[in-house]
Structure 1
Amino acid sequence: MDNGHRGAEPRHGQDPYGTPPYGRPGPWAPAPPVQRPSPTPPAGTAVPAGAAPTPPGGTPAGLPGEPLRRYDPWAAPAGPSAPPAGTPARTAQGPSAPAPGARRGVRTAAGAALIALLAGTLGGGVGVLLERNGAFSDVHLPQTTVTDRTAAPGSIAAIAESVLPGVVTLHVRGSGSAGTGTGFVLDEQGHILTNAHVVRPAGSGGTVQVTFGSGDTARARIVGMDSGYDLAVVKVSGITGLSPLPLGDSDAVRVGDPVVAIGAPFDLEGTVTAGIISATERPITAGGEDGGSDVSYVNALQTDAAINPGNSGGPLVDLDGRVVGINSAIRAPELGRGLPDGQGDSAPGSIGLGFAIPVNQGKLIAEQLINTGRATHPVIGVTLDMRYEGGARVASSTDDPPVVPGGPGDEAGIEDGDIITAVNGERVRSGEELIVRIRSHRPGEELRLTVERDGEPRTLTVTLGEASGG
């Protein structure tokens, strides 16, 4: 081997890697120092303990002034060492090589440091593994707890807290059918307002069971119902601690006002949904399926608060918790019309088009049902062609004359063939819309009717009459 200094080659075929106790090192083992045999120094020559023998002339073969040795990555930097006391100083030819014992000490310390590092790493990994497996302790995640929380006034939570105690769920059975609806308490005497289509199955020998927010239940009897307005009143007896809901003013409601609907959709009682008033005075008709006569005509409040089957009869309230409407119908796109949300499986879920009877109308009908058991409807005493579009056309039918002699329409001057196109300036597109507009008023009120006769518009004033509802 040639390392650039020919004088460093061992003589007589010596193997520098075969010197005990190392043997032949691997690629990471430190190489032992190379030592060249030298003659025995003359008597009286001092040699430092542990130093390599020095050839004649005082300088080892190799680089001038430095002993020859292989690079040892584990050795500490070389430096001068003090000779033992009483030992003559060496010639200034460079520091002597560390003693073999000192070099082994450095290697031992470095090896110990490496072992300590590996042990620390292994120990840390084992500790993490044990901790993850719960050997040391259970895992507890931080969580914020609230011990006393009060709902902000006007918030949905505050409205729900104040209104829910006055809302009830109705389970109705009878006439071969059963259903679930909602109602709300009107007074401390136990009167509850709901929809007529909710309690209609119990009209002949059926039962109405009322479930309060507390979970208590009671039987109720039907006080009265009116299909024309789709309203009914039932009453529970012997119940104390009732929570009547305050009634608001539906005439003061404006488009965009926030509202909350509460009910039992799909028998999930106490469900609260929120939205806004989407429209007011929206004329709708509902009921009357299969040729029935139980058609309701409502000048409704429209809302996007979610209303589903089972919400019928529940309150629609404002941000002060006052009832402004009675949830009654939803839009049914499959059938192309509004349906009471209890009409069996044909009624779909909410699509954001719900309709509520204005509470002003509901209050009037509820008072009549409680006081007399029946409600009255305003009428003008004319027969309408319900198939005509473009207005409400007065026309005779098989059984009824076009204008009732001596009735409100006759006295106002309405004639057969007249087309009523507006009520108090509000456009009318069909006979159904005319009935809705009229029924949003009370008997005895005066209305201005815009009438087309022979292609000419004219205005007539009619005083509403009264007819018994059913």
Structure 2
Amino acid sequence: MDASLRRSRLRRSAPVLTAVAIAALLSGCSQSGPAAPKGSPSPSASNVQSSGSVTDSLQSDYQRVIKNVLPSVVQIDASASLGSGIVYDTQGHIVTNAHVVGNERTFKVSASGSSSAVTARLVSAYPEQDLAVIKLDSVPSGLKAARFGDSSKVEMGQIVLAMGSPLGLSSSVTQGIVSATGRTVSEGRGGGGTGATLANMVQTSAAINPGNSGGALVNLDSEVIGIPTLAATDPDMGGSAAPGIGFAIPVSMVKTVADQIIKSGKVTDSGRAALGITGRTVVDSGYQPAGVAIVNTNPNGAAAKAGLKPGDIIVRAGGTDITTITSLTEALAADKPGQKIQVTYNRDGVRKTAEVTLGEV
């Protein structure tokens, strides 16, 4: 995909201007032919009635889901930015994006329909997966935790709703479908980003705008299936939004990280594969990216144990050609610690291959 990615946290220093345009298109049609018996519904009337029934049913589903889930979606107000979060449990833990909390440790949290904010403090952030948990200083009466779904049941074509505070408009809802699953995307470090490479992301057509970060991507069973995190931008249009292309962290990773942070105050088992190296992108004679040079290795890391050493240039990992640090990170993002992969590298102009048992970040 020839698009870059932007985080959907809203910086408070920027003014917010919202324009809403509504257009209505009315059309009519007539049909000629034999007249229907008196009192019989015309085919067009039957179609309209059937269509109306389906529309009413779907609208009822939307309204039911919004009523069930929106009370569990909050707005997180930091000193320099704002984003969204999800009530994780009745003890006051809120899960959100690491780039929403940034380097701050205290926040104001507003629930849907509430006119007052509750203070909250950071429990821990895990920038490697762009997730964080904060905890309310006091738990409001009737605090409702969200219900989380099953990542294995998320499929293309499912209708989803994105809930959060886009452009600071709290308790907003947009609608779309699951466009794809299993995407691997990388976010930049500029503008407060974590630079994380995120695997198994859910791609959605539901609109994700600044302020949506950390909110809820929800199915029609009122289950959270992901946390909206990134929106694509089109570099050919000056970095403006690429409509209908957004990404959410899958609920399986959300629960894995949040449970560890709540239990231990940190992530103790990342589940993310690593080679145990520090590397840099190298270029060929045409100044094109041509691989990742190993600068140093962890003596107990996967690469060192497999015989790789500083100066080697990695050009392939598993089934993926490697040209840059980002491509290497993305190739490893879908792998697991303990998994064995073939790594192809150049040493002193000679191409070699090693079987590497991956370590953990």
Q: Distance in 2 between matches of 1:199 and 1:286?
A: 16
User: Cα distance, 1:347 vs. partner?
Assistant: 7.9
User: Is the CA contact 2:281–2:323 (under 8 Å) kept in the aligned structure 1?
Assistant: no
One-letter identity of the residue aligned with 1:186: Y
2:227 is aligned to 326
Change (3 A) 1:335 1:405: farther
Q: Please, what is the CA RMSD of the aligned residues?
A: 3.2
User: Is the CA contact 1:193–1:231 (under 8 Å) kept in the aligned structure 2?
Assistant: yes
User: Cα distance, 1:263 vs. partner?
Assistant: 0.8
2:260 is aligned to 368
- Structure number with the bigger relative contact order (C-alpha 8 A, sep ≥ 6) is 2
Alignment of 1:4-19 (within 5 A): none
Partner deviation per Cα, 1:205-229 (whole Å, 9 max, x = no partner): xx41111113142111111112221
Alignment of 1:411-426 (within 5 A): 411-415=305-309, 416-423=311-318, 425=319
User: Is the CA contact 2:341–2:358 (under 8 Å) kept in the aligned structure 1?
Assistant: no
Bigger CA radius of gyration: 1
2:34 is aligned to none
User: Cα distance, 1:422 vs. partner?
Assistant: 4.2
1:277 aligns with 2:170: no
User: Cα distance, 1:328 vs. partner?
Assistant: 0.7
Where structure 2 has 5 or more consecutive residues not aligned to the other structure, the ranges are: 1-55
1:212 aligns with 2:111: yes
1:405 is aligned to 299
User: Cα distance, 1:455 vs. partner?
Assistant: 7.6
Partner deviation per Cα, 1:384-426 (whole Å, 9 max, x = no partner): 33356999834133xxx1x322311222344543435344x46
Change (3 A) 1:333 1:347: closer
2:91 is aligned to 189
Change (3 A) 1:274 1:450: farther
Change (3 A) 1:334 1:391: closer
User: Is the CA contact 2:303–2:356 (under 8 Å) kept in the aligned structure 1?
Assistant: no
1:396 aligns with 2:327: no
User: Is the CA contact 2:68–2:222 (under 8 Å) kept in the aligned structure 1?
Assistant: yes
User: Cα distance, 1:181 vs. partner?
Assistant: 0.7
Partner deviation per Cα, 1:194-243 (whole Å, 9 max, x = no partner): 1111112523xxx4111111314211111111222111111112323121
1:445 is aligned to 338
Q: Distance in 1 between matches of 2:259 and 2:121?
A: 17
Partner deviation per Cα, 1:73-119 (whole Å, 9 max, x = no partner): xxxxxxxxxxxxxxxxxxxxxxxxxxxxxxxxxxxxxxxxxxxxxxx
Change (3 A) 1:229 1:449: same
User: Cα distance, 1:293 vs. partner?
Assistant: 8.3
User: Is the CA contact 2:276–2:301 (under 8 Å) kept in the aligned structure 1?
Assistant: yes
Alignment of 1:70-109 (within 5 A): none
1:247 aligns with 2:148: yes
Change (3 A) 1:455 1:323: farther
1:357 to 221, 241, 249: 249
One-letter identity of the residue aligned with 2:261: L
1:199 aligns with 2:101: yes
| Structure 2 counterpart SS, 1:243 | coil
Q: Distance in 2 between matches of 1:272 and 1:172?
A: 22
Task: Name the TM-score, length of structure 1 as normaliser.
Answer: 0.56
Partner deviation per Cα, 1:244-283 (whole Å, 9 max, x = no partner): 1122222432333322111110111111111122222222
One-letter identity of the residue aligned with 2:160: V
Change (3 A) 1:324 1:463: same
Q: Say which structure is richer in strand.
A: 2
Change (3 A) 1:457 1:408: closer
User: Is the CA contact 1:447–1:461 (under 8 Å) kept in the aligned structure 2?
Assistant: yes
